[in-house]
Amino acid sequence: MKIGNVHIETPVVLAPMAGVTDYPFRILCKEMGAGVVYSEFVSADGIIRENTKTLSMIRFEESERPIGIQIFGNDAETMGQAAKYVVETFRPDILDINYGCPVPKVTKKGGGSAALQDLCLMDDITAAVVESIPETPVTVKMRVGWNQLSIVVPEVGERLEKIGVKAIALHPRTTKQRYTGKADWHFIKLLKESVSIPVIGNGDVCTTDDMMRMFDETGCDAVMVGRAAHGNPWFFLEAKARLNGEPNPPSPSLLDIANMCSRHFDLLLENRGEQTGSNLMRKHFSNYIKGFPGASGFRQKLVTAPGLAEIRSALNEFVDTVQKVEWD
């Protein structure tokens, strides 16, 4: 698959997720075979103000390519300026516009999926971004509409393609649904049939069986994976094997999980510092350590450990215990 001039080797991509898809998580998923990784969504206002924390969310390593940086905002001029700044300063492969976030603190300010209520504003923002970075492919991640009475797919796909968007990722729920109910993949199929640019399906892909079914049922060009990758970067290894017609790789052993936890934690400490890295890792421990005897005890120790030394001690205990089990 190609997005504009960017070649995507494996059509399974890591979704942008706030508080999750930072550098440490992206690099682990990339190493496991993710075809594209996306940053957390980044505020256009913060970008043009050159806010230090905001800009730190954009920085990436060459080994992450191809990478997309996702931005959000409610003003066309600001979004255009932000897109230009990101491309000139960081040179990502793809610039993505967030029209999908359903969180009220974002939509109340007109960002994210609030644009689905005003397609003229969506057109203006999209055009401003596309015109500001003519050499970089612009993609969009969106929902099907604000609510069930205002579905905008597939019609909006044609508008976005005419403006110059090079691919659309569709999460087929409405804003009001948030993450409840069932993602209606039928809308992915309708969107694919209405445009000539690549369509990336997203929503309720929990296993590689789901991934294959989404490809079959919708005809989408790629599948975007979000929550299924939490604590499971191996998802991309299995997905790549299935798409290549190869045998499924063995499921990760407890030692694999323990080692991945340690590596993820080290990357977070290096990238985000001791306090922030330790706090961020707690939710990842919860995602990694589950589904085996004794998991809840290890998970509880790691999640509630008060500081770095205690986390290290609990993590070392987990690794040591797992190694003994493996050797036995």
Residues with a catalytic annotation lie at 101
CA atoms within 13 Å, Cβ hemisphere of 191: 34
CA distance 81 to 73: 11
Is the separation of the CB atoms in 34 and 16 below 8 Å? no
Peptide bond into 154 cis (omega under 30): yes
CA distance 178 to 102: 6
CA distance 199 to 323: 44
